[in-house]
Amino acid sequence: MKQTALHEAHVVRKAKMVDFAGWSMPLQYSGVLDEYHAVRTSAGLFDVSHMGRLHVEGTGAVPFLQRVTTNDVQRVEPMGAQYSMICNPDGGVKDDIFIYRLGAEEFLLCVNASNLDKIRRWLFQQQGDEEVRIVDHSEAMAQLALQGPASKPLLQAHVQSSLDELKPRRCLRETIGGVECLVARTGYTGELGYELYVPAKQVRLVWDRLMQAGEEYGLKPAGLGARDLLRLDMGYLLYGNDLTEATTPIEANAKWVVSFDKGAFIGEPVLKQQMQDGPSRRLVAFELLEKAVPRHDMKLLAQDKQIGTVTSGNLSPILQKGIGLGYVEPAYAEAGTAFDVEIRGRRIPAQVVTLPFYKKPKPA
């Protein structure tokens, strides 16, 4: 298995390590629920260096990315970020990605760990006449996610820039303990948070500095287990579960990341036809009406037939109810629609809801 530059730091903290997409990654340290609640109430620090980081630069970078991604890159200002997808010619999702525009003609693409090799090959294959250079920085660059309501005051003590000015999906260049970092107001938890792109050889310095400074804030190292619970609370999509090359952004209720007015892009004809005809299935969010836990691949039933399949599911610690995502026939996709989830031979009633599952209470 591959190891991130922080592998020893995880071992020292007695993390439970697991194989994730070929990487040895921390599943948990103090416990999945403990880490989950730390992020919801104070702060958690994640090592997400297993993700892929591709640098795309050149006078042809914008037209190239316009052609190979679904969203409109031109709308992203320098030092801004955008969620997007890369599709195959059939409209299937090859990966969902984050694009950071570092300059007029310079971009950083954050891709899923399991898809890095596939996406890197795909981008090289799609190069045409555009003047564009693609460099894989995945090994040279590490990635941390500092997430939770206490992340802002914690990080502010270590950077010169005012974090009050850093709006969601914006980024800035900073130094933390003398280490140059790209600080982005992005995350996968639904909480206030930041993602830090750091030279891999120096990431241990940043990790240790934040962990030490974070003690007074209740900061805890957090693993993949808490990360999955946190993202599911928000209904954030997980590649390999909710998205695959057999699903399209339209089916996944992600048409907001598809721009049909920017010009031609890979997969556009199929996606445009789906918008016109309506998809044959749709991803929905649902809550169980009885205490139970939905899991990936469980059947969704209505009357005497299967109408869909669970793609993601778990018991939300903060809501104390079973929640999930799954693809269903269009007739069962509207909020309030009832169906059952087959769990260990029993039919548990469920209801379609609007996302996010967890809505943070507004300050008094």
Question: What is the structure's pLDDT at 363?
Answer: 65
What value, to the nearest 5°, has the Cα angle with vertex 119 and ends 50 and 170? 65
Strands (E) located in the chain:
2-3, 16-20, 23-28, 44-47, 52-57, 80-87, 93-103, 106-111, 133-136, 141-147, 171-176, 179-184, 193-199, 220-222, 282-288, 299-302, 305-316, 321-328, 338-343, 346-353
Pull the structure tokens for residue 294: 């939905």
Q: How many CB atoms lie within 10 A of CB 358?
A: 17
Cα distance between residue 112 and residue 50, in whole Å: 8
Residue 18 near residue 25, CB atoms below 8 Å: yes
Residue entry with tokens 């026939």: 329
Cα distance between residue 64 and residue 54, in whole Å: 14
Q: Which residues pair with 182 in a beta bridge?
A: 173, 197
Question: What is the structure's pLDDT at 362?
Answer: 73
Q: Please confirm whether the linkage preceding 153 is cis (ω < 30° from 0).
A: no
pTM of the model: 0.96
Q: Digits of tens for pLDDT over the chain (364 positions)?
A: 999 999 999 999 999 999 999 999 999 999 999 999 999 999 999 999 999 999 999 999 999 999 999 999 999 999 999 999 999 999 999 999 999 999 999 999 999 999 999 999 999 999 988 999 999 999 999 999 999 999 999 999 999 999 999 999 999 999 999 999 999 999 999 999 999 999 999 999 999 999 999 999 999 999 999 999 999 999 999 999 999 999 999 999 999 999 999 999 999 999 999 999 999 999 999 999 999 999 999 999 999 999 999 999 999 999 999 999 999 999 999 999 999 999 999 999 999 999 999 998 776 5
Cα distance between residue 4 and residue 160, in whole Å: 28
Residue 176 near residue 209, CB atoms below 8 Å: yes
